[in-house]
Structure 1
Amino acid sequence: MQQQISVKLLPYAAASHPDILQAAASALGVATTRITGYNILKRSIDARSRQVWYLLTLQVFVDEPYYHQSFTPIAYPSLPATATPVIVIGAGPAGLFAALRLIEAGLKPIVLERGRDVRTRRRDLALLNRSGVVNPESNYCFGEGGAGTYSDGKLYTRSGKRGDINKILQIFVQFGADEKILYEAHPHIGTNKLPHIITAMREQIIASGGAVHFEQKVTEFIINNEQLQGVKTATGATFNAKHAILATGHSARDIFELLHRQEILIQAKPFALGVRVEHPQALIDSVQYHSAVRGEYLPPASYSLVEQVEGRGVFSFCMCPGGIIAPAATSPEELVVNGWSPSKRNNPFANSGMVVTVDETDFVPFADKGPLAAMYYQQMVERRAFSAGGGRFVAPAQRMTDFVQRKVSATLPECSYVPGVHATDLFQVLPAAVAQRLATAFVAFGKKMRGYYTADAILVATESRTSSPVRIPRDGDTLMHPQIKGLYPCGEGAGYAGGIVSAAMDGERVAVAIAAL
């Protein structure tokens, strides 16, 4: 027989097959010799009490042959030469998963990516980190795999109603991710492993008869009688198709401007803005695990914090245990930071975005920009940060306690941000509504999580690309733009996702809508 059970184990026991086997036998009231094997269905950590536990959900085989729980890989077909083309603008998670789903449906994806492939893209990132030179078309946000490729690879989401999360994870495994992501409560691939997975996806698209074109930035939508006919790119190339999925990500400001210029409806959208906070990982471990030493059986600890301050949410975003702060700018003289972690999460620092919601009242100074008002507000703060850092993407920074006390830090702690940091009064960089709420929230977080509010924590500005500052509307049923037939806004850049998994699910959803026509 097969039984599904839950067991609670100490960290060392959760890493031991004999201990898991004994726990399963005790839970079922049978001898260990009767258990032929088990599959882990879910694994999470419970650190609410002084003693830290692993919680495991197991599928246990008793008195019958064991088989490894698996899934059936998708057999992507070879497309005929006559397959209907669909343009996919952007090779981030929304675009790639849309392309794969189109192939399943017998449609030919033509993927247009403004940036470079993952391998070439690494050189552009190295130049940005070491020399302070940003390639506007190939950076942490633009290029094969999108922002997620070099931004940690966290795969957990609360958007379960938007699609099949398990299918998304299984596809990642099919293309090379570790099977552990299928049962970990907070699955994570790692920036060092994602490029190989993304490359495998691209190779599958091409092998099936689809096309992937790099360094093809869309500069015009070809429209006739409110029907999409195709697109033109910066190279002068024209790609013709009656359907296009617009999955360009939250930082493609030129696309927002293009849509506005062509009088295609877009809307300003609230987002969140703040700083990236970095602590020593050992400090976060000691706070979360209630121990001076984490030990070898527990992963670097993470945290999630939220506080309401004067009617607005202040919350942690994209927390990266054992991570690094990276320059995520897409244009010269605009400073944006983000965080990432390798698969082992073995760097000595823990970083997280700490942001405040901003809304229409903040965008009033840019009212003349119409639906681009939020985008210009975002850009204003990024330019302030660049100027405050002194250039070359050196970031303005401040100790957390000094920020709250409104004094420039005499010294700064060691920081993972490679271009370097410069001591600054961040109240002069961030909008007052954001800075004041952050200062209040840091003190409150220190009471919720003892040790969090400390002079050993450094704030690095600015974390501003939390989500798109523009929403591209679409019909709730057809998922098509309400004005332009055949144009399908998709993913984070259109305002319909927030993270790798939700973007991938939205890409699949749009592909299914096109296939159903």
Structure 2
Amino acid sequence: MKKELNLQLSPKEAYDEQVFQEVVAKRLGIKTEQHQFKARQVKRSIDARGRQVKVNVTAEAFIDEPSTPLLSTPKAYQNVKNADQIIIVGAGPAGLFAALRAIELGVKPILIERGKDVRARRRDLAAINKDHIVNPESNYCFGEGGAGTYSDGKLYTRSKKRGDIRRIMEIFVSHGATEEILVDAHPHIGTNKLPKIVTELRESIIQAGGEVLFNTKVVDFILKDNEMVGVITQDGEQIKGLGVILATGHSARDIFHLLHAKNILIEAKPFALGVRIEHSQNLIDQIQYHCELDRGPYLPASSYALVQQTYYKGKQRGVFSFCMCPGGFIVPAATSPGELVVNGMSPSRRDSKFANSGIVAAVELEDLPQYVKYGPLAAMMFQADVEKKAWEIGGKTQVAPAQRMLDFVNRKSSSSLLDTSYQPGLLSADMHEVLPDFISNRLVDAFQAFGKKMKGYCTNESQLIGVESRTSSPVRIPRIKETFEHPIIKRLYPCAEGAGYAGGIVSAAMDGERCAEHLIEMYVRNNLH
């Protein structure tokens, strides 16, 4: 017999497996010594609204019958070595999942990545942290797995209309992720575990006859009668296929310049820009879990989500938390020498003593009148200028400018800074000089409001570290809503974050799948070679 229960449990009851089994059995009136019994959690979310933290759990109990697998049987990938081929540029989650979907549909993917494989990237990340050397082809943004692999691995998304979220999660699990991601309301893999999973995804592609090319930078497109039939690499090699999925991520500025130079329609796009805020994780736990000392052995590191409408010179803009990383680290995410960018990540255990989050303000195109001359690259050029200024103020290394929060609010210099997870180091600076006025003034108002929403949040025991500027793409590559194809250049499928259509690992993966499906439906199934 199988029974389903909705439970509200204490943290110990939810996170201690033996206690959980005992609680479910008691609720059902089952004497475990008289029955074969197994309970498991299907969905789990933390409710910290009251003084006592509760965990909402949907559970399944199997009584005198074997439990069914939580994971559906994954499809075996067919061999597509000799099939029609498509080209996918970028081996982030969008590119990887586009390739796997193409294989499922009987098409061979040629996956092209400018950077190195996921293991080899580590040396270049170490060089940024220790020696402040930025490799423009291999860094926290570029390389196998994309930006998400070494900058967190959060899998939460609200993009339920984009595709089957459960399917994406199950593919991750079948390639090595823990089944916990199928259960938690805000699933998270962790940057320490993602490299192995990304390697397994690549191996599935190769074993099925697909190709994955590393250190292969696309420098030009092959166009024929307004159709994109291939790409040209830095070595002059021409790689052709039935179409091109462009999944290059939000930081591939050279691709945006190339599209603009070839008069391929692109558009400037609003994005958001601000700083990373770092608190002690213990402080955030005390605020969120209402605990006096620490959160105890059962609860995970707490997170938060904040948003505030602000006004500056009569214009309303939202300020919001972005990519909050409990128990995490701040990392240098520049993609070229001469710029400074920060991002956040968390290991799977989320056991760092620090909590960090992007706190960013919306940037609309009307906020950038002096950049109109750059046309569709206006927002991107503004973004680049802010990053260059942060690099200069930080001392022209990867040392980041920083300021304590109340000092920033009160426009006072910080005579000292706090300990930090940011490995290259910090330099005390006036963040009002680093950020444009229309950003910094909004942040002041937002921090004061956040301090009222989360008592203790706005404190000099936290600090701003800048700049957080790669929140989303500052350029949109337009596509037809129904077909995902570029409205002018046929066989070109702009994809995921870099094209302005996704915002995270799962939404990017789903977008990659949809692009592959549309391309194959149009140019393979309809035999329009």
Same fold (TM over 0.5): yes
1:382 counterpart = 2:387: yes
CA contact (8 A) 2:16 2:298 kept: no
Q: Which residue of 1 aligns with 2:277?
A: 277
Q: CA deviation at 1:477?
A: 1.5
Name the CA distance, whole Å, in 2 between partners of 1:26 and 1:7. 12
Q: Which residue of 2 aligns with 1:53?
A: 54
CA contact (8 A) 1:473 1:481 kept: yes
Partner secondary structure for residue 160 of structure 1: coil
Name the CA distance, whole Å, in 2 between partners of 1:301 and 1:228. 47
Q: Which residue of 1 aligns with 2:525?
A: none
Mapping of 1:402-413 within 5 angstroms?
402-413=407-418
1:335 counterpart = 2:336: no
Q: CA deviation at 1:36?
A: 2.0
CA contact (8 A) 1:35 1:60 kept: no
Q: Which residue of 1 aligns with 2:526?
A: none
CA contact (8 A) 1:92 1:249 kept: yes
CA contact (8 A) 1:7 1:27 kept: no
User: For residue 405 of structure 2, what is the amino acid of its counterpart?
Assistant: M
Name the CA distance, whole Å, in 2 between partners of 1:187 and 1:367. 40
1:163 counterpart = 2:163: yes
From 311, 314, 321, the equivalent of 2:326 is 321
Q: Which residue of 2 aligns with 1:445?
A: 450
User: For residue 179 of structure 2, what is the amino acid of its counterpart?
Assistant: E
Partner secondary structure for residue 508 of structure 1: helix
Q: Which residue of 2 aligns with 1:194?
A: 194
Q: CA deviation at 1:25?
A: 3.8
1:207 counterpart = 2:207: yes
Name the CA distance, whole Å, in 1 between partners of 2:239 and 2:48. 54
Q: CA deviation at 1:285?
A: 0.9
Q: CA deviation at 1:214?
A: 0.8
Name the CA distance, whole Å, in 1 between partners of 2:372 and 2:209. 46
Q: Which residue of 2 aligns with 1:75?
A: 76
Q: CA deviation at 1:516?
A: 1.6
1:475 counterpart = 2:447: no
1:266 counterpart = 2:271: no
1:516 counterpart = 2:517: no
1:430 counterpart = 2:435: yes
User: For residue 409 of structure 2, what is the amino acid of its counterpart?
Assistant: V
Name the CA distance, whole Å, in 1 between partners of 2:268 and 2:475. 5
RMSD: 1.2
- 1:387-431 Cα offsets, whole Å, 9 max, x none, are 110121111100000000001100001111111111111111101
Q: CA deviation at 1:31?
A: 4.7
Partner secondary structure for residue 320 of structure 2: strand
Q: Which residue of 2 aligns with 1:494?
A: 499
Q: CA deviation at 1:263?
A: 0.3
CA contact (8 A) 1:472 1:494 kept: yes
Name the CA distance, whole Å, in 2 between partners of 1:38 and 1:68. 12
1:103 counterpart = 2:103: yes
* More moved, 52-61 vs 190-199: 52-61
User: For residue 161 of structure 2, what is the amino acid of its counterpart?
Assistant: K
Mapping of 1:252-263 within 5 angstroms?
252-263=252-263
Mapping of 1:360-399 within 5 angstroms?
360-399=365-404
User: For residue 46 of structure 1, what is the amino acid of its counterpart?
Assistant: D
Q: Which residue of 1 aligns with 2:298?
A: 297
Q: Which residue of 2 aligns with 1:20?
A: 20
Mapping of 1:450-461 within 5 angstroms?
450-461=455-466
Q: CA deviation at 1:216?
A: 1.1
Name the CA distance, whole Å, in 1 between partners of 2:509 and 2:499. 13
CA contact (8 A) 1:409 1:423 kept: yes
- 1:273-296 Cα offsets, whole Å, 9 max, x none, are 000000011111111111121111
CA contact (8 A) 2:341 2:466 kept: yes
Q: CA deviation at 1:20?
A: 2.4
Name the CA distance, whole Å, in 2 between partners of 1:178 and 1:445. 34
CA contact (8 A) 1:191 1:340 kept: yes
Q: CA deviation at 1:42?
A: 0.4
CA contact (8 A) 1:245 1:490 kept: yes
CA contact (8 A) 2:84 2:242 kept: no
Mapping of 1:102-121 within 5 angstroms?
102-121=102-121
Name the CA distance, whole Å, in 2 between partners of 1:347 and 1:330. 25
Mapping of 1:113-262 within 5 angstroms?
113-262=113-262
User: For residue 66 of structure 1, what is the amino acid of its counterpart?
Assistant: S
Q: Which residue of 2 aligns with 1:44?
A: 45
Question: What is the TM-score normalised by the length of structure 1?
Answer: 0.98
Q: CA deviation at 1:19?
A: 3.1
- 1:46-69 Cα offsets, whole Å, 9 max, x none, are 111111111110112234443343
Q: Which residue of 2 aligns with 1:350?
A: 355
Name the CA distance, whole Å, in 2 between partners of 1:293 and 1:192. 25
Q: Cα 1:45–1:95, aligned 2, differ >3 Å: closer, same or farther?
A: same
Q: Cα 1:449–1:35, aligned 2, differ >3 Å: closer, same or farther?
A: farther
User: For residue 474 of structure 1, what is the amino acid of its counterpart?
Assistant: R
CA contact (8 A) 2:13 2:23 kept: no
CA contact (8 A) 2:81 2:210 kept: no
Q: Cα 1:66–1:203, aligned 2, differ >3 Å: closer, same or farther?
A: closer
Please, which runs of 5 or more residues in structure 2 have no aligned partner?
523-529
Q: Cα 1:67–1:240, aligned 2, differ >3 Å: closer, same or farther?
A: closer
* More moved, 13-22 vs 266-275: 13-22
Partner secondary structure for residue 146 of structure 2: coil
Name the CA distance, whole Å, in 1 between partners of 2:197 and 2:16. 29
Q: Cα 1:16–1:315, aligned 2, differ >3 Å: closer, same or farther?
A: same
Name the CA distance, whole Å, in 2 between partners of 1:390 and 1:441. 28
CA contact (8 A) 1:39 1:69 kept: no
User: For residue 352 of structure 2, what is the amino acid of its counterpart?
Assistant: N
Name the CA distance, whole Å, in 1 between partners of 2:254 and 2:398. 21
Partner secondary structure for residue 418 of structure 1: coil
CA contact (8 A) 1:227 1:242 kept: no
User: For residue 482 of structure 2, what is the amino acid of its counterpart?
Assistant: D
Q: CA deviation at 1:16?
A: 3.2
Partner secondary structure for residue 365 of structure 2: coil
User: For residue 61 of structure 1, what is the amino acid of its counterpart?
Assistant: F
Question: What is the TM-score normalised by the length of structure 2?
Answer: 0.96
Partner secondary structure for residue 60 of structure 2: strand
Name the CA distance, whole Å, in 2 between partners of 1:186 and 1:179. 13
User: For residue 504 of structure 2, what is the amino acid of its counterpart?
Assistant: G
Q: CA deviation at 1:21?
A: 3.2
Partner secondary structure for residue 148 of structure 2: coil
Name the CA distance, whole Å, in 2 between partners of 1:441 and 1:210. 49
User: For residue 186 of structure 2, what is the amino acid of its counterpart?
Assistant: H
Partner secondary structure for residue 318 of structure 2: strand
Percent of aligned pairs with the same amino acid: 58
